[in-house]
């Protein structure tokens, strides 16, 4: 598999880009830095949230895409 802009694949890159560049999403994700699995906890809460009910990025990449590199997304949230 070929990397995409330094990420495992397009899907992981797109989710990471969305997490870092959508201000409300970024601010919410900061609260998950200390969670054992920051990304998984964050996305589950996004789906359940009464206001957001978010399941995909603006480009249509599912936050549950099986090809996502969860470990890399966890590291990104911890480093933000």
Q: Is residue 1 part of a domain?
A: no
Residue-wise pLDDT for 9-65, tens only, equals 999 999 999 999 989 889 989 999 999 999 999 988 887 776 567 788 989 999 999
Q: Is residue 5 part of a domain?
A: no
Q: Is residue 62 part of a domain?
A: yes
DSSP classification of residue 15:
H
Q: Is residue 49 part of a domain?
A: yes
Report CA-CA distances (Å) from 21 to 24, 26, 36, 47, 66: 9, 7, 23, 19, 22
Q: Is residue 65 part of a domain?
A: yes
Q: Is residue 4 part of a domain?
A: no
pTM score of the predicted model? 0.89
User: What is the spatial distance between Cα 24 and Cα 41, in angstroms, rounded to a whole number?
Assistant: 16
User: Total structural domains in the chain?
Assistant: 1
Q: Is residue 3 part of a domain?
A: no
């Amino acid at each position: 598999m070929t990397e995409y802009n330094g990420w495992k694949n397009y899907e992981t890159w797109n989710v990471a880009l969305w997490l870092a560049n959508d201000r409300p999403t970024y601010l919410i994700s900061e609260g998950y830095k200390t969670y054992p699995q920051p990304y998984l906890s964050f996305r589950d809460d996004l789906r359940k949230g009464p206001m957001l009910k978010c399941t995909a990025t603006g480009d249509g990449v599912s936050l549950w895409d099986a090809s996502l590199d969860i470990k890399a997304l966890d590291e990104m949230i911890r480093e933000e």
